[in-house]
Structure 1
Amino acid sequence: MAELFAAGITTLDVLVIYSFLQVNKGKLTLALWTSFLNMAFPFLGFVTGELSAHIFTVWSSILSGVMLGLIGIHMLLQSDTPSSSSKQVSPFIIAFAVSIDAFSVSVSFGMLQMDKVLFIVASGAFTFIFSCAALLLKGRLGLKNGKALRLIAGFALIIIGVLSCFR
């Protein structure tokens, strides 16, 4: 069950970023590409995390907790000013950038020995749903900026990180 919660929290950034993205055609392709990347990067992260857990057996819970906490703090401290260069970048590059953070989060989850398949499938499903919702319902979601969702996701990652240290 923690895998579903974690997958939902780690894919909230897709909802925020795609709500502000100007895409006229290829929305389904972009959603599928983002979903694929949000499944591929966590798979690589889980493999890396599981290898790290074997190497750092004693420290794996503490290391994963610290990593998740730092990712959460990073989300809380991100700048609120929108980047003007995002209009010049291809949406498929943005999909890559949005998905790469799933790698670092899943390294921690791999170190915690979470259910890899459940997290990866849930991450892909949530990403597809959030991508489609943001791209198709643009403007009707009521997101003025992504600050509230980013704060929720940041605090959730910090809490998961702290709890995993005491696992």
Structure 2
Amino acid sequence: MVEIIAACITTIDVVIVYSLLRMRKGRLVLALWTMVLNMAFPLLGFIMGDWTVGVFSAWSHLLSGALLALIGLHMLLQDDSSNSELTRQLHPVLIALAVSLDTFSVSVSFGMLQLNKLLFIFASGSLAFIFSCIALYYGRQISVRNGKILRRFCGLALLTMGIMSWFR
């Protein structure tokens, strides 16, 4: 269950970023690339996390907790200086890459904690596709004006999960 919650938290930024985009063409391609990358990066992250556990077996819970806490702290401190004009000119693969990159670092932490990798990978990919489609096709109706509040909530959740994993 932790894997599904974490997948939801790490992919919620897709809604924030994609609801700001005003794309008429290539929305399905962007959603599919986001899904693929949200499955590929966690797979690589879990492999890296498993390897890290072998190297740092005594410190794996502390290290993974620190990584999650730092990701959450980064989300809390991130500013709102994103420019949707620039993202419209980028190729969908680059946009999907930028949005999906955070799943790698979260999955490294989960790989160290020995959580269910298949559940997180499939949940992350499917939620990324669903969130992408919702934001790209219905972004004007959603009108995420307070993406800052949503991002801070997700950052606080990741920070809390990181701190809680220290005492596991």
Q: TM-score with structure 1 length normalisation?
A: 0.96
Contact 2:43–2:121, Cα closer than 8 Å, also in 1 = yes
Q: CA deviation at 1:29?
A: 1.5
Aligned-partner SS, 1:153:
helix
Residue 25 (structure 1) aligns with: 25
Q: Distance in 2 between matches of 1:87 and 1:133?
A: 18
Task: Give the match for residue 59 of structure 2.
Answer: 59
Unaligned runs of 5+ in 2: none
Quick one: distance in 1 between partners of 2:9 and 2:82?
21
Q: Using the alignment, how far apart are the partners of 2:87 and 2:123 within structure 1? A: 28
What secondary structure, in the 3-state scheme, does the structure 2 residue paired with 1:22 have?
coil
1:160 partner letter: M
By how many angstroms is 1:30 displaced?
A: 1.1
Amino acid across the alignment from 2:159: I
Q: Deviations over 1:4-35 (max 9, x none)?
A: 10100010011110000121112112111110
- State the identity as a percent: 54
Give the match for residue 151 of structure 1: 152
Residue 105 of structure 1: aligned partner: 106
Aligned length: 167
Structure 1's unaligned 5+ residue stretches are none
Distance in 1, matches of 2:59 and 2:112, equals 9
Report the more deviating stretch, 81-90 or 60-69.
81-90
Distance 1:21 1:105 in 2: 25
CA contact (8 A) 1:23 1:91 kept: no
Task: Quote the offset at 1:123 in angstroms.
Answer: 0.3
